[in-house]
Amino acid sequence: MRHATHATDLLLSRYAHLADSITKLFFPYAEVVIHDLAEQRVRYLANNLSRREIGDESGLEDIERTIADRFVGPYEKLNWDGRRMRCVSSVLFDDDGQALGVMCINFNIAVFEDMHGMLGMLLKGAGLVAQPAELFRDDWQERINTFMHGWLQHRQLALNGLTRDQRRQLVAALHAEGAFQGKSATHYIANVLGLGRATVYKYLKELKEG
Q: What is the pLDDT of residues 36-70, one digit of tens each?
A: 888 888 899 999 988 888 888 887 767 777 888 88
pLDDT category of residue 81 using cuts at 50, 70 and 90 = confident
The pLDDT value given to residue 19: 94
Domains and CATH numbers, the chain: 2-112 (3.30.450.20), 133-209 (no CATH)
Percent of the chain beyond pLDDT 90?
14
Contacts of 46 (CB under 8 A, 6+ apart): 16, 19, 20, 22, 23, 31, 32, 33
- Dihedral class, residue 107 (left if φ above 0, else alpha if ψ from -120 to 50, else beta): beta
The pLDDT value given to residue 70: 84
Q: What is the pLDDT of residues 116-140, one digit of tens each?
A: 666 766 666 655 555 444 433 446 7
